[in-house]
Amino acid sequence: MTKSAVIIGGGLGGLFTGAILAKEGIKVSVIEKNATIGGGLQSFTRFGEVFDTGMHVIGGMRPGGNIRRICDYIGITEKIHIKDVDDDVIDTLYFAEDKKTYHISQGKETFVDRLAEEFPDQRENLARYVEAIYDIVEELDLFFLRPSNDYIAVHSDDFMMAANKFIGKYITDSKLTAVLAYMNPLYAGRENMTPAYIHALISVLYINGPSRFAGGSYRFAETLRDSIVERGGEVVTNDGVEHIATQDRLITSVTTRKGRLFSADYYISAIHPCSLLALFDDPSVFPKAYANRLREIPNSYSAFTLNIKLKPNTFRYMNHSGYYMSRYDEIWNFGREEWKWPLGFLYMTPPDIEQGEFSTKMIITAPMTWDKVKRWENTRVGQRGKEYEEWKRERTEELLSRIEEIYPDFRSYIEDINAASPLTIRDYYNVKEGAMCGYSKDCNNILLSQVPVVTKIKNLLFTGQNCNVHGFCGVPLTAINTSEVILGRNYVLNKINKLDDDKQ
Ligand SMILES: Cc1cc2nc3c(=O)[nH]c(=O)nc-3n(C[C@H](O)[C@H](O)[C@H](O)COP(=O)(O)OP(=O)(O)OC[C@H]3O[C@@H](n4cnc5c(N)ncnc54)[C@H](O)[C@@H]3O)c2cc1C
């Protein structure tokens, strides 16, 4: 008999898990609360331009990359619009403190060579550091889509070390330690807390070669949706799950805002676990300690974003991302509430499908902690009041002043501008405190922040960024873990590897 699964949340995790299960003959219903699917893949149109909300830089999509191999297996690679960033400069990094710009290059050797030009006495240390991050990643079978029968993973000391200490173990120049940590806003890094394996994973993915969605990340969400629908599944939008009914510690059905009732063999939560807990008609269905643990895991910090429409033919298209940092010694301070905002930000010009010489838009994303917007936490989109609008305008001006340190007169290139705060992220994704990457990972208490995909309710599974690694490079891997609980251990991984073998 065909098995069925109801997936709560049509973001990156819900859609990937749905696409895998639908491919394997499971009858899938994905339920999304927003009018638009995608979660972090969602785009919106403003001033006639398409802006992506939570997917600006992606890894694993170059030929042979792990996420690309998953897309090959689902059968969607040919339909995806991707633009690889330039290999000689994948990122630039500007430090306001000494007005210095560093260039980061793709590929292990070039990465080392380019930075060694700036830090010649660190060349050997740099080479050792790069080997060490690749060694850490080698410990993760799933990263390489290798089937594994190990139930308890044993890891090296480097793997579990705090990322900042790990960098300091290999690099003795304090400026270079900051340069190597420049991507920590991408994984909401915190000093003495974020494990080195998270830093290593993201760094390796980008050293191997980052890419971007061309023409909007929403196209990718739609491709995943189409693959679910073509295989007999459904993707419901604009109708979030509001109630979950249980009996004898099993879920019996979910009911949506519009009153539709869905029941299935399996229920998969692709939303923040704290948002899920609030949906149960009987809150005592989870053991108290388990529910408390889910509530108490700290969340990653959030972000303040500027979506800028540029005047035609004023700003050249940059086929790499840029990072602004105030000071070297502040690189790990993003998550600290008391720190003066903004410490730094990422800026990038998203490509159109037919990208010309000039950019049509820019997105600036600056990490921000929840406390900055807490006073408006009881307000909703469009009704937050004048004080909030004024606060947003001031933050916008602060960011524009910073970017003008790199591009004087930048304000004169702007046609229109829109700002989104952590409140926007909270309300659109239904994620606690607008957390950019879901739960924070803490190397001092790794068990606390590891949420297994199996839960205390037998027919409920988790997927999405809160289980393991967030983002485009992490969530699809967890989708495999979740699917394999239903399909059987290594079932999907074996199929992916067989497909690769058949191609050779
Ligand atoms: C500003 C920002 C920038 C980012 N940039 C990048 C980047 O450049 N690269 C990268 O790899 N990652 C990036 N990320 C992280 C990435 O977006 C997330 O890790 C990823 O989207 C998480 O996927 P998910 O499926 O777990 O959650 P989401 O994508 O958030 O999906 C959850 C979905 O569930 C829906 N939902 C919630 N409650 C309900 C309910 N009750 N019923 C039905 N549906 C519900 C939500 O509307 C949402 O669509 C960024 C995140 C942010 C916030």
Instruction: Give per-residue burial for 37-59: e unless 16+ CB within 10 Å, then b.
Output: bbbbbbbbeeeebbbbbbbbbbb
pLDDT for the residue 149: 82
The minimum-distance atom of ligand 1 relative to the CA of 465 is: 26
pLDDT for the residue 1: 63
Domains of the chain as residue ranges with CATH: 4-41+216-297+451-503 (3.50.50.60), 86-209+298-433 (3.90.660)
DSSP track, 459-501? TEEE-STTTS--HHHHHHHHHHHHHHHHH-TTHHHHHHHHHHH
The minimum-distance atom of ligand 1 relative to the CA of 466 is: 26
pLDDT for the residue 338: 82
The position carrying tokens 């998270």 is 198
The position carrying tokens 């105030």 is 326
CA of 26 to the centre of ligand 1 (A): 24
Ligand 1 pocket, residues with Cβ under 6 angstroms = 8-14, 31-34, 39-40, 54-58, 240-241, 270-271, 275, 303, 305, 365, 425, 429-431, 436-437, 464-465, 470-473, 475
Cβ–Cβ < 8 Å for 281, 246: yes
Distance of alpha carbon 223 from alpha carbon 188, whole angstroms: 28
Tens of pLDDT, residue by residue over 122-150, are 999 999 999 999 999 999 999 999 999 87
pLDDT for the residue 336: 87
Cβ neighbourhood burial of 346 (10 Å; 0-12, 13-18, 19+): buried
The minimum-distance atom of ligand 1 relative to the CA of 428 is: 47
Cβ–Cβ < 8 Å for 220, 36: no
**CA distance readout (Å), 265 to 79, 238, 426, 476:** 31, 24, 30, 22
Q: At how many degrees (to 10) do helices 66-74 and 12-23 cross? A: 50
- Could you tell which of 271, 277, 280 is best to mutate to test the pocket of ligand 1, judged by most ligand atoms within 8 Å of the CB? 271
pLDDT for the residue 448: 82
Band the pLDDT of 408: cuts 50, 70, 90: very high
Cβ–Cβ < 8 Å for 235, 32: yes
Band the pLDDT of 446: cuts 50, 70, 90: confident
**CA distance readout (Å), 154 to 139, 140, 148, 158:** 9, 10, 13, 12
Instruction: Select from 137, 144, 148 the least CA-distant residue to 70.
Output: 144
Rg (CA), the chain: 22
Instruction: Select from 89, 132, 117 the least CA-distant residue to 176.
Output: 117
The minimum-distance atom of ligand 1 relative to the CA of 38 is: 49
**Residue 276 scores a pLDDT above 70:** yes
- Could you tell which of 56, 58, 257 is best to mutate to test the pocket of ligand 1, judged by most ligand atoms within 8 Å of the CB? 56
Query: Whose CA is closest to atom 4 on ligand 1?
Result: 54
The minimum-distance atom of ligand 1 relative to the CA of 430 is: 37
Query: Whose CA is closest to atom 31 on ligand 1?
Result: 11
Band the pLDDT of 449: cuts 50, 70, 90: confident
**Residue 389 scores a pLDDT above 90:** yes
292: left (phi over 0), alpha (psi -120 to 50) or beta: alpha
Query: Whose CA is closest to atom 2 on ligand 1?
Result: 54
Distance of alpha carbon 126 from alpha carbon 128, whole angstroms: 5
Candidate from 59-68, 191-200, 333-342 with smallest mean pLDDT = 333-342
The minimum-distance atom of ligand 1 relative to the CA of 434 is: 53
Distance of alpha carbon 362 from alpha carbon 340, whole angstroms: 24
Cβ–Cβ < 8 Å for 478, 453: yes
Band the pLDDT of 478: cuts 50, 70, 90: very high
Helix (H) or strand (E) segment spanning residue 302: strand 302-310
- Could you tell which of 6, 17, 32 is best to mutate to test the pocket of ligand 1, judged by most ligand atoms within 8 Å of the CB? 32
Which tokens belong to 152?
């308890």
pLDDT for the residue 326: 96
Distance of alpha carbon 464 from alpha carbon 13, whole angstroms: 4
pLDDT for the residue 77: 97
The position carrying tokens 């229109």 is 416
* pTM of the predicted model as reported, rounded to 2 decimal places: 0.96
CA of 332 to the centre of ligand 1 (A): 24
The three-state secondary structure class of 89 is coil
**Residue 321 scores a pLDDT above 90:** yes
Distance of alpha carbon 100 from alpha carbon 93, whole angstroms: 8
- Could you tell which of 436, 441, 467 is best to mutate to test the pocket of ligand 1, judged by most ligand atoms within 8 Å of the CB? 436
pLDDT for the residue 322: 97
Band the pLDDT of 461: cuts 50, 70, 90: very high
CA of 206 to the centre of ligand 1 (A): 20
Band the pLDDT of 503: cuts 50, 70, 90: confident
Phi, psi for 452 (deg, rounded to 5):
-65, 155
Cβ–Cβ < 8 Å for 417, 308: yes
Instruction: Give per-residue burial for 369-395: e unless 16+ CB within 10 Å, then b.
Output: bbebbeebeeeeeeebeeebeebbeeb
Distance of alpha carbon 267 from alpha carbon 449, whole angstroms: 22
The mean pLDDT value for 476-496 works out to 98
CA of 314 to the centre of ligand 1 (A): 32
Q: Which amino acid is at 287?
A: P
CA dihedral 147, 150, 152, 156 (to 10 degrees): -80
Cβ neighbourhood burial of 87 (10 Å; 0-12, 13-18, 19+): middle
The minimum-distance atom of ligand 1 relative to the CA of 302 is: 53
pLDDT, mean over the chain: 96
The minimum-distance atom of ligand 1 relative to the CA of 16 is: 25
The minimum-distance atom of ligand 1 relative to the CA of 13 is: 25
Cβ–Cβ < 8 Å for 256, 239: yes
Distance of alpha carbon 496 from alpha carbon 145, whole angstroms: 8
Query: Whose CA is closest to atom 38 on ligand 1?
Result: 430
**Residue 117 scores a pLDDT above 80:** yes
The position carrying tokens 């993003």 is 334
Bridge-based pairing of strands 414-420 and 302-310 is antiparallel
Distance of alpha carbon 206 from alpha carbon 33, whole angstroms: 32
Query: Whose CA is closest to atom 52 on ligand 1?
Result: 54
**CA distance readout (Å), 365 to 52, 105, 308, 368, 420:** 11, 22, 11, 9, 9
Cβ–Cβ < 8 Å for 26, 49: no
CA of 502 to the centre of ligand 1 (A): 34
Query: Whose CA is closest to atom 19 on ligand 1?
Result: 471
Cβ–Cβ < 8 Å for 180, 129: yes
157: left (phi over 0), alpha (psi -120 to 50) or beta: alpha
